[in-house]
Amino acid sequence: MPIYAYRCEACGFAKDVLQKISDAKLTECPSCGKSTFKKQVTAAGFQLKGTGWYATDFRGSGSAPTSAPATSAAPTAPAAEPAAASTPAAGTTTQPAV
């Protein structure tokens, strides 16, 4: 059952009431007895718990979820390297021939 916030417009009395959705709205203030007790608009108060839920929509820093890449039906052969590509790329080390 949801909890609704009520406030009296005449005396300022506020109260949270546990009600069914189908229950009638309260109109009489329990403090002053006037019929100025109104339901307030409030944010939903629920929390998702358990594995798989985050406190925010995207907790990571923009990283995409890891998944296996799609594979094609026929495997492709690796491309042949040109002769000029035999020098190592910048920042890599080579092992001396023994």
Per-residue pLDDT of the chain (98 residues; tens, 9 = 90+): 888 999 999 999 999 999 998 999 999 999 999 999 999 988 776 776 777 766 665 555 555 556 655 555 555 656 655 555 555 556 556 666 66
- Asked if the structure places residue 28 within a domain, the reply is yes
Give the alpha-carbon dihedral of 49, 61, 57, 59, to 10 degrees.
10
Strand ranges, E, within the chain: 3-8, 14-18, 37-39
Report the distance separating Cα 64 and Cα 61, nearest Å. 9
What pTM, to 2 d.p., does this model score? 0.45
> How many domains would you assign to the chain?
1
Q: What is the pLDDT of residue 84?
A: 53
Q: What is the pLDDT of residue 36?
A: 95
- Asked if the structure places residue 88 within a domain, the reply is no
- Asked if the structure places residue 13 within a domain, the reply is yes
- Asked if the structure places residue 87 within a domain, the reply is no
| 5, 16 contact by CB (below 8 A) | yes
CA neighbor of 59 nearest in space, from 43, 48, 45: 48
Q: What is the pLDDT of residue 33?
A: 93
Report the distance separating Cα 34 and Cα 28, nearest Å. 6
Q: What is the pLDDT of residue 70?
A: 58
| 69, 32 contact by CB (below 8 A) | no
Structure tokens belonging to residue 24: 């009638």
